[in-house]
Amino acid sequence: MNPKIMIILGSSSDIKIAEKAIDVLEKLQVPYSLHIASAHRTHEKVKNLVIQGTNEGIEVFIAIAGLTAHLGGVIASYTHRPVVGVPVKAKLGGIDASFATAQMPYPAPVATVGIDRGDNGAILAGQIIGINDYNVRKNISNLRNSYVEKVDIDDKKIHSKLN
């Protein structure tokens, strides 16, 4: 099946954040591809990946990057598809990457999620895909429901501990 989501990591050091995204996308059964390519150091590679990906049916891009975190913005300059940005904590608690992802000028937004939240980046991408894909929508519902159950179980555990 052709990938609908392309994840690009700015550096191999961000792999743990990517794994959180992959884990969710597997559960949502959304086909994806994964690449490492740096906004500044392998700019042409990013460009080629994004243009080719857009042509071949990628519907959402997920950029995972720390520090100046320009990756999301660079992807956004080569595609009309929505770009999800996951800022990674490398220095300053990730505040640099968070601003560098969210504060994009008009008309080039990057849909920013929380610092190190590869999981939420994947959920957001899944919600976008799910607008026209019943199965993905259902999988998100299941995933949310199982989360609700987990909270209920945690809640019960706490009560039995207290009494």
> Which H or E element spans position 52?
helix 43-55
Residue 30 or 100: which CB sits closer to a second copy?
A: 100
Looking at the chain, the number of H-run helices and the number of E-run strands are 6, 5
Kindly state whether residue 61 participates in binding a second copy, applying the rule CB under 8 A.
no
Give the N- to C-terminal CA distance of the chain in Å, as an integer.
Answer: 52
Kindly state whether residue 54 participates in binding a second copy, applying the rule CB under 8 A.
no
> Cβ-count burial of 131 within 10 angstroms (0-12 exposed, 13-18 middle, 19+ buried)?
exposed
Residue 30 or 70: which CB sits closer to a second copy?
A: 70
Closest CA to 38 of 3, 17, 67: 67
- Subset of residues 99 to 138 that bind a second copy, contact rule: CB under 8 A: 99-117, 119-121, 123-124, 127-128, 130-132, 137
* 63 to 59, 84, 132, 146, 151: CA distances (angstroms): 13, 6, 22, 27, 30
> Which H or E element spans position 87?
strand 83-88
Q: How far is the CB of 55 from a second copy (least distance, A)?
A: 13
Binding residue (CB under 8 A) for a second copy from 5, 55, 159, 160: 159
Query: Per-residue string for binding with a second copy, 79-98, x by CB under 8 A?
Result: -xxx-x----x-xxxxxx-x
Residues that contact a second copy, how many (by CB under 8 A): 86
Kindly state whether residue 3 participates in binding a second copy, applying the rule CB under 8 A.
no
Binding residue (CB under 8 A) for a second copy from 10, 17, 53, 88: 10
Kindly state whether residue 5 participates in binding a second copy, applying the rule CB under 8 A.
no
Kindly state whether residue 67 participates in binding a second copy, applying the rule CB under 8 A.
yes
